[in-house]
């Protein structure tokens, strides 16, 4: 199998051992699942299906970021406890993933479950000289980590711009350098707070995933995924602090999914230009929604259009009833997936077989589309 690796900026062989360790960054549960979320998790679902088809076992961890600024802000706006909001939205997300026929993950740990792990992890980073205390917070010192930036390949100027856009607080006077990032910091008056030797507060965003990955998967994992908007700062910082803590490589292969656009802008909660999966499900078969996602390549940005669902509902109708065995088609779909997870090519191959009146059931199932029900 060949997959694009973000850090190496090339399509390279992905050849894990029999047991594959995967970590995908999950949701911050303060709103419904939109199509951008779904596209990310369905890409990793197709990858898991092919790995299992190849004979691997896969342990995939997908975290829930239930300690984070957007969740607190939304809970504050609604006048409810942040954990109540998180629980409701997490349940809605899981219903959407089940409807889209995503394989269950091995675990979906919440950041709030990992506070003892996070405290211990920060202690490891401090003990190894990669962090410092200042103003009641603990910061990672990027000057001590020589390869900082080698995942994203951004210049310092680009990293500063992105950090400013994505909550990096580059003007924090307690930092030694604007690119240093927080591991632990004081909580606001209405936010959760936990006691530590550095003072009461809560973890920074990046440290949550590092601690959960170490707890659930160990020191080095085979593949780490997420949307391309997480490359910096989140994954760059996650890699730095994990390798600083353990002294070992954190991730063998970095895989990122492209963004989806609507009305010419990235689909995002902050812009409000969202297409929600649960609303699509009110009108369309979830299998058609899944097809609408996988007709696009995971690394190619694409624009939502109103023909997406009618087009894929028609595609689903053409596939249904063609459930017979077709070993040649199955081999072609496998070959497409082994070529940097070429789902558009795989879908096109199934389309052609269906038009020819051939069986497509096994190939469709490998793509996560059950046409037998």
Tens digits of per-residue pLDDT, 226-256?
999 999 999 999 999 999 999 999 999 999 9
Confidence band of 69 (pLDDT split at 50, 70, 90) = very high
pLDDT digit string (tens) for 207-226? 999 999 999 999 999 999 99
* Beta strand pairing call for 302-303 and 260-262: parallel
**Is it the case that residue 270 has pLDDT exceeding 80?**
no
Average pLDDT over residues 299-303: 96
**Is it the case that residue 101 has pLDDT exceeding 80?**
yes
What is the reported pLDDT for 334?
98
Q: Is there a contact between 284 and 313 (Cβ–Cβ < 8 Å)?
A: yes
* 91 backbone dihedrals φ, ψ, rounded to 5°: -65, -40
Q: Residue 7: CA atoms inside 13 Å, Cβ hemisphere, count?
A: 17
* Yes or no: domain 14-261 corresponds to CATH 3.30.365.10: no
Question: Three-state secondary structure along 222-255?
Answer: EEEEEEHHHHHHHHHHHHHHHHHHHCCCCEEEEE
Burial class (CB in 10 A: 0-12, 13-18, 19+), 56: middle
- List the structure tokens of 326: 């077709």
What's the mean pLDDT when you consider all of the chain? 96
What is the reported pLDDT for 49?
98
Average pLDDT over residues 265-280: 86
Task: Give domain limits for the chain.
Answer: 14-261, 307-366
Confidence band of 324 (pLDDT split at 50, 70, 90) = confident
* 254 backbone dihedrals φ, ψ, rounded to 5°: -105, 125
Higher-scoring residue by pLDDT: 372, 178: 178
What is the reported pLDDT for 116?
97
What is the reported pLDDT for 177?
96
What is the reported pLDDT for 168?
86
* 252 backbone dihedrals φ, ψ, rounded to 5°: -85, -30
Which residue, among 207, 221, 178, has the nearest Cα to 119 in the 3D structure? 207
What is the reported pLDDT for 139?
98
pLDDT digit string (tens) for 103-142? 999 999 999 999 999 999 999 999 999 999 999 999 999 9
Average pLDDT over residues 47-54: 98
Q: What is the pTM of this model?
A: 0.96
> What b-and-e string marks burial along 110-140, b requiring 16 or more CB atoms within 10 Å of the CB?
bbbebbebbbebbbbbbeeebbbebeebbbb
Long-range contacts of residues 332-338, Cβ cutoff 8 Å, at least 24 apart: 332/363, 333/363, 333/366, 333/367, 334/50, 334/53, 334/366, 337/1, 337/46, 337/47, 337/50, 337/366, 338/1, 338/2, 338/50
pLDDT digit string (tens) for 137-189? 999 999 999 999 999 999 999 999 999 988 889 999 999 999 999 999 999 99
What is the reported pLDDT for 347?
98
- List the structure tokens of 79: 């006048």
pLDDT digit string (tens) for 8-45? 999 999 999 999 999 999 999 998 889 999 999 999 99
**Is it the case that residue 308 has pLDDT exceeding 80?**
yes
């Amino acid at each position: 199998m060949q997959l694009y690796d973000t850090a190496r900026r090339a399509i390279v062989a992905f050849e894990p051992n029999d047991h594959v360790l995967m970590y995908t960054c999950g949701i911050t549960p303060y709103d419904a699942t939109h199509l951008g979320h779904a596209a990310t998790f369905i890409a990793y679902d197709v990858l898991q299906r092919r790995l299992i088809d190849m004979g691997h076992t896969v342990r995939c961890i997908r975290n829930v970021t239930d300690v984070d600024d957007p969740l607190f802000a939304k809970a504050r706006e609604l006048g409810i406890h942040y954990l109540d909001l998180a629980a409701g939205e997490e349940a809605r997300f899981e219903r959407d993933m089940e409807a889209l026929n995503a394989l269950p993950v091995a675990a979906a740990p919440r950041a709030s479950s990992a506070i003892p792990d996070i405290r211990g992890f920060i202690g490891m980073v401090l003990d190894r000289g990669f962090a410092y205390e200042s103003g009641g917070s603990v910061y990672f010192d990027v000057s001590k980590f020589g390869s900082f930036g080698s995942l994203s390949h951004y210049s310092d100027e680009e990293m500063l711009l992105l950090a400013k856009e994505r909550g990096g607080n580059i003007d924090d006077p307690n930092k030694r350098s604007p690119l240093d990032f927080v591991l632990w910091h004081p909580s606001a008056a209405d936010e959760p707070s936990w006691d530590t030797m550095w003072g009461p507060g809560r973890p920074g965003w990046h440290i949550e995933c590092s601690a959960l990955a170490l707890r659930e998967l160990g020191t080095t994992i085979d593949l780490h995924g997420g949307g391309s908007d997480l490359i910096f700062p989140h994954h760059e910082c996650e890699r730095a602090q994990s390798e600083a803590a353990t002294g070992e490589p954190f991730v063998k292969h970095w895989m990122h999914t492209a963004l989806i656009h609507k009305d010419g802008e990235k689909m995002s909660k902050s812009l409000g230009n969202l297409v929600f999966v649960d609303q699509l499900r009110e009108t369309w078969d979830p299998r058609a929604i899944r097809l609408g996602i996988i007709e696009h390549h995971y690394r190619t940005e694409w624009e939502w259009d109103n023909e997406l669902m009618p087009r894929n509902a028609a595609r689903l109708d053409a596939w249904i009833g063609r459930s017979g065995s077709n070993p040649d088609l199955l081999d072609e779909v496998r070959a497409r997936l082994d070529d940097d997870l070429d789902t558009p090519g795989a879908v096109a191959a199934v389309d052609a077989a269906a038009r020819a009146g051939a069986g497509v059931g096994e190939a469709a199932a490998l793509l996560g589309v059950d046409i037998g029900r």
